[in-house]
Chains A and B, each alone.
Chain A
C-alpha cells in the first residue's frame, strides 16, 4: 500500500482551506456566471424575491452578437407602439437591441484601448529607456519620476487626467505662447474615425493586407531588390487593385448592417493609461539595457552601428523576452481598464464604453443579470486568451530550469 508521508499530509491539510475557498468563491462563481448567462434572469425576475429562472441556452449571446431583439426590448417597443400609435413604425424588426449595438462598439473600443495602450506604453517606455540609457545627468531622479505614476491607482490617475483634459486644462497651454487654445474635447468628443461597416470586413482586411505588403516591399526593396519586388510589392498592388475593382463581389460577413469605428473620446483615457504604464515598461527596458555588457555595445560601435543601429539591431532584439513579458502584462492590464474609464467618464458614457463597464451597467443598473453574465463570460474568455499562453510559457520556463 502506498503510504503518504507525514509531510505530505501536512501540506494537504495546510492547503485545503484555501483550495476549498478558492474552489467556491473563484471557480464556483465563474461556473455560476456561465450558468446565469444561459438563463432568462433579467429585469423583473432580477428584482423578484423568489425569481423564476429558466434555462434559455445561448439566447443572451444572440442579443450580443446579432440583431435579434431580446424579449425585454420587444416589450418596450410594443409599449411605445401603443402609446404613440400611428407615429410609430409598424415593423419593429428595423430596431436593433441597444444593448447589442453598444456591446459591439464596446468590443471595438476594447480592441483600440488594448492595442493603443500596448503600442503607446511599449513604444514610449522604450523611447524613455533609450534616452535614460544614454546616461544623462540626474538619471536616478528621472527614473523615479517616470516610474512613479505606476504607484498610483487608476482612480487617482483618472481624476488627475480628468482635470488635465478639461477644456480649461491642457487645452489652454498654447495660450501661454499667444496661440489659440486647443478646441478638442478629449473626453466628450462624439467623433468617430476609421468607421467601417462590419458587413465589409473582408475587403477591409484585404486592403490592410495589400498595404502591409506594399510598405514591407518598399522597405526591403533597397536591400533585396527583385526578390522584394516579386514577393511583396507586386502581390500587394495586385491584391489592392483587385479588391478595389471587384470588392463588390466579396460576400458580406454574417453580421448586421452596423458601422463601428474608433471613438476619439477614448483618446484621453488611452493617454492617461499610457502615462501610467510607460514608466513601468521604461523600467523593464532600462534594466535590460543596463544588463547588456559594455563590450557588446562597443563591438557594435566598431562594427559601424550608430546609436540608432545599436538599439534597432542589437539592444532591442536582445531584449525580446522583456518585450514579450511587457506585452503580456500590459495586455491583461488593458482588459482591466474599468476603474480608469469609470473615474474619467463615468459608468454610462457610450463613446468611451468598455465591455467591463457595460457588464456592470447591464447587471447592476439595468438589472439584467443574465445579459450581464453573458458579457462577463465573453470578457472571461478574452482574458483567458491572453493569460493562458502566458501561464503555459512561464510553466515551461520553470520546468526548463528545474
Chain B
C-alpha cells in the first residue's frame, strides 16, 4: 500500500537546474511511466525517489511519510538499473537474496523467497550460475528478481529494457506488465521510448528539460497533447505540423497556404480572424480508400505520393499537397505507388491547434 507524492520537487547540480517544480501524485499499485528525451531529468527524479540523489527543493513522500532525509535502505524501494548492476562475484541466488541477507533474514526464509522469485521469473535452473554466464535477457530477469524478492513498497525501473535487442525488448515488456498485474506494487518506470511508455503505463508523465509537460493516460496524451512537444514526442511517426492562418469566414477554419480545413473542435473561440496558428495532424488521422467516402468533402484533398514504405500491416506514406510535405499512416493493402495521385481525408475532429509562440495547445 504505497502512494508516492512529489511536491514541487526540484534538483540543482551546482547552478544547473536539472529538475524543476515537479508535482506528481502516484496512487497505490499504479504503473507510472516517466518519458522524455535523453537528458530531461527522468533518471534524476527516479534517483531522488530512491534516495540516491539529494532533493534540492520540495518534498517527496512515500506512504504519507516524507522521505527527504531517509536513507535509501529505509525507504523500502527497489530499483532495477539500466545495466542491471548485478554483483559479478555472486551467484544468481546470492544476487537475489542479498537484500534479505543485509536485512538479517534467516537462511530458510531467504532461500524460500529466492526460490519463489526464481519461479516467477523462470530462473530456477540458473540459480547457481554467475551473472557472467547468463544472456542479456536472463541478467535482466535477475535484476528484476533482486527487486521483487523483498516485496518493496515501490519498484523503480531506469530504462531496464534499453540494453536488450528489439525482439527481447518486446517480450520483456509484456512480461513486465504481467508481473505488475501479479504483484500489484506501485511502479515508477523511466524510459525514453514512447512505445514502452504507451504500452506499459497506467499514466504517462511527459518530461522536457526537467519540467512536467503532461500527465495522463496513454490515450489522453496521445489524443489531447497539451503542447506541440508532447504531440511530437508521443506517437510514431510524429504529428505533422503546419503553420496556418485562422479565419471565421463561414465557420472557423484554418488556411494552410492553398489548403483550407474547417476547425471542428477545441477552444477556437479564443482566436480571432487572421491569427497565426500551428495545425497538428497525426499521420494516422490521414485516411484513404473507402474510409473517406463518408467524410465531408471539405475534409478531403488530392495529394501526390512521394514515397511509400510498407511496414507490415501499415504503410508510411510521404505525401505532398500544395507544397506541404507530410506523413500518413495507412493500411498496407491500400499502399499507392510513388508518383501516383491519391485522394485523402483528414479526421479533423482529431486535429490539434497550437499557439505558434507558446506552442501550447488551443484545442486540448
Name A's B-contacting residues (CB within 8 A): 223-224, 293, 295-296, 298-306, 309, 313-314, 317-318, 320
Contact = CB atoms under 8 A, between A and B. Distances in A.
A296 B99 contact: no
Interface residues of B, number: 27
A301 to B, nearest CB: 5
A301 B73 contact: yes
22 contacts: A295-B83, A295-B85, A296-B85, A296-B87, A298-B52, A298-B72, A298-B85, A299-B81, A299-B86, A301-B71, A301-B73, A302-B50, A302-B52, A302-B72, A302-B78, A302-B99, A303-B102, A306-B73, A313-B98, A317-B90, A318-B87, A318-B88
Q: Kindly name the residue among A296, A298, A303, A314 whose own CB sees the greatest number of chain B CB atoms within 10 A.
A: A303
Given A296-B85, A320-B89, 14 more contacts: A296-B87, A298-B81, A298-B85, A299-B146, A300-B98, A301-B71, A302-B51, A302-B52, A302-B72, A303-B98, A303-B102, A304-B102, A304-B103, A305-B98
Please name the 10 residue pairs, one residue from A and one from B, whose CB atoms are nearest each other, closest first: A295-B85, A304-B102, A303-B99, A299-B85, A304-B73, A295-B81, A301-B72, A317-B89, A296-B85, A305-B102
Contacts of A302: 50-52, 72-73, 77-79, 99
A316 to B, nearest CB: 10
B107 interface: yes
A46 B88 CA distance: 60
A104 B72 CA distance: 56
B6 to A, nearest CB: 19
A305 B150 CA distance: 14
B106 interface: yes
B89 A305 contact: no
B47 to A, nearest CB: 8
Q: Is the interface of B mostly helix, strand, loop or mixed?
A: loop
Interface of B: 50-52, 71-73, 77-79, 81-83, 85-90, 98-99, 101-104, 106-107, 146
Given A295-B83, A301-B73, A317-B89, A223 B106 contact: yes
Q: Kindly name the residue among A299, A300, A309, A320 whose own CB sees the greatest number of chain B CB atoms within 10 A.
A: A299
Nearest to B149: A303
Nearest to A316: B89
Contact of B99 (A223, A304, A317): A304
A314 B87 CA distance: 7
A232 to B, nearest CB: 15
A293 B81 CA distance: 12
Contacts of B85: 293, 295-296, 298-299
